Structure formats: structure tokens, C-alpha cells
Amino acid sequence: MILHATDHGAGAPIILLHGLYGAAQNLGMIARALGDGRVIALDARNHGASPHAPDMGYRTLTADVIETMDALNVAEAVLIGHSMGGKTAMMVSLMHPARVRALAVLDIAPVIYDHAETRAELIDALAALPLMPGLTRQQANAHLAKAIPDPALRGFLLNNLRLSHADVPTWRIDLAAIKAALPMLTGWADPQPLVAYDGPSLFLRGAHSAYVPPDAIGEIQRRFPRAMIETVANAGHWLHAEQPDAVNEALNHFLIPILRPCAEPRARLNPSP
């Protein structure tokens, strides 16, 4: 599948891959901060403006990225992915290492998860929202408040709702396809037990997030032997939204020697352990 792409700039390609229930625009702060290349933000299948289809395993998401790179004449790119997009980026690097110049992963590891925000009950709550002409975002927010008490999560999910005063509102995300794929998306389809990506890689984790626990560090290092692992202070799973300056600084510090090998590396203001 060729994915919907937002393509800006010139030079070395950098591909951004968003997380579950998101869209390319969720990584806009990162895209705007990357001034040293051609930045391509993709909507995953069943998300944003990309086509819908039932299969959402990571091998399929990987094939979508490769097919889209081919369509955009991108032979090799830096991949930056958050959450589901991070797992997809890892899988691309493991299955197609020659296509990945460098890898940056935001708050996810190559392990199996079971987190509340990815459970079927969340999708059921969205699917139960009465869709009728004239529905407002405030009404939708109030209807979902009991099932999804976290206002930040509720607001994030409601970004996927297309509202219309004349027509019936619709969801940009394919709720049925995502619900069916949850076991695969929270899992990890091992490409080959002994495969590793030996290119430069950066793993950023939120200090207040449980997505990259200490026992996942060894698996990251086994799969990505050149990985640098850093913790972003005062950040949870959506670290790029909660601490954009720190995340952008870490990404640029990582990428400058890769995109501009002759450039002098900039000193870090607050390097993370």
C-alpha cells in the first residue's frame, strides 16, 4: 500500500512514523525542527488520509513503508517513529537494513505490551459514539468522558473525528480493523531471532512512561547493538508533545553527524542518562 505522505524540504530523506490512533500531523513539532533534510511524514494504513485495509501486522506496515519509499524514489532514509511507528521503524530496519540510514525510536521497545489505551474497550467506546449531523466536539467529548476519563487521551482520540453540520460525522481511523489488529500491534512479530540492525540508532524514553522498562533495555541492545538510550525528564509516553525542546535537541544532536558528517557536533544543554 502506498501511504499518504506529507513531503517537505530537500536533501537526505527523514521519514516520520506516528503512533496508534495518531496521524502524520502528530509529529509536526519534530518535522518543523528537522532542518537538515527532506522530511516525509506518513499516515499509517487505517489512519489519517491513508487507505484502509484489514491487515495491520508489523510485516505489513513495514511493506507499506518500503512501497511508499519506492513510490517517492527514496532509496535510503533516516526513520523516526513513535510507539506503533517506532515498532514499524524497528521492523523496517531489521528486515530492510540497507534502506535505513539511521533509526530513532520514541518510547517503545521490541517487546510485547498490554496497555490500557490499546485495549478493545477503548475502540468500543469510540464506536459507541452516536454519529449524527450537527454533532459538536464538545458533545462528543462529554459522551466519551465516562468511558475515557483522561481528558488528554480523549482529546487525542477525538482528533480522528470528522465533524460536519450537514453530513454524518465519520472516523478517520478504521476502528474495526484496528480492534482486530490489537493483539499484533501490542505484540512483536520477530523477523528472525538472530537478526540485528547495526546502523546508528537512538532510543528516547519518557521518564514517567512504562513503555521502556529496565528489562527491555537488554532486548534493545541485542537487536540494535549501536543503540544510544536516553531518558527525557518530566515526560510520559507522548514525550515529543510534553517535552518537545528536549526531544528535538536529542534528535538533532543524534542526526547532525549522520546528515552532515563534517559538521561540528553541538554541545548538549542537558544530556540525559
Q: Which residue type occupies 158?
A: L
Q: Is residue 270 part of a domain?
A: no
For residues 143 and 171, give the distance between their C-alpha atoms in angstroms, rounded to a whole number. 16
Mean pLDDT throughout 69-83?
A: 97
pLDDT at 255: 95
Contact 237, 80 (CB under 8 A): no
Taking the C-alpha atoms of residue 242 and residue 130, their distance in angstroms, rounded to an integer, is 31
Question: Residue 190 pLDDT > 80, yes or no?
Answer: no
Higher-confidence residue of 161 and 190: namely 161
Q: Which residue, 182, 199, 225, sits at the end of a domain? A: 182
pLDDT above 50: residue 269: no
Q: Which three cell numbers stand for residue 257?
A: 553527524
Is residue 125, in this structure, part of any structural domain at all?
yes
Do residue 138 and residue 240 come from a single domain?
no
Same domain, 55 and 78: yes
265 within a domain of the structure (yes/no): no
pLDDT band at 272 (very low <50, low <70, confident <90, very high): low
Higher pLDDT, 241 or 267: 241
Q: What pLDDT was estimated at residue 145?
A: 96
Kindly state the percentage of the chain with pLDDT values over 90: 81
| 194 in the same domain as 82 | yes
pLDDT over threshold 70, residue 266: no
Q: Name the grid cell of 150.
A: 483522561
Q: Residues 100, 124: one domain? A: no
Predicted confidence at residue 159, as pLDDT, reads 94
pLDDT in tens, 138-183: 999 999 999 999 999 999 999 999 998 778 999 999 999 999 999 8
Cell numbers for 16, please give them. Answer: 516520520
Is the same domain home to 93 and 215? yes
Q: Identify the pLDDT of residue 264.
A: 52
- Judgement on whether residues 224 and 142 belong to the same structural domain of the protein: no
Average pLDDT of the chain, as a whole number: 91
User: Catalytic positions, please?
Assistant: 83, 237
Its domain, for residue 61, covers 5-113+190-259
pLDDT at 262: 54
| CATH number for 240 | 3.40.50.1820
252 lies in the same domain as 224: yes
Q: Do 174 and 197 fall into the same domain?
A: no
C-alpha cell at 11: 536533501
Question: Is a pLDDT exceeding 90 seen at residue 118?
Answer: no
Query: How far is Cα of residue 114 from the mean position of the Cα atoms in its chain?
Result: 17
Q: Identify whether 268 is part of a domain.
A: no
Q: What average pLDDT does the segment 21-28 reach?
A: 94
Domain end: 182, 200, 233, which one? 182
In Å, what is the CA distance from 201 to each residue of 78, 100, 150, 228?
Answer: 10, 10, 33, 6
pLDDT in tens, 38-48: 999 999 999 99
**Rounded distance, CA 62 to CA 246, Å?**
28
Number of domains in the chain: 2
pLDDT surpassing 90 at residue 260: no
Tell me how far apart the terminal alpha carbons of the chain are, to the nearest angstrom: 39
E strand or H helix at 232: strand 227-232
**Domain end point (choices 125, 148, 182):** 182
Would you mind telling me the total number of residues written for the chain in this entry?
273
Residues 215 and 134 in one domain: no
Residues 34 and 166 placed together within one structural domain of the fold: no
Based on the domain organization, do 222 and 154 belong to the same domain?
no
pLDDT at 129 over 50: yes
Question: What pLDDT does residue 267 have?
Answer: 47
35 and 67 belong to one structural domain: yes
Contact in structure between 56 and 67 (CB atoms under 8 Å): no
Average pLDDT over residues 50-72: 96
Question: CA 167, 171, 177 angle in degrees (round to 5)?
Answer: 140
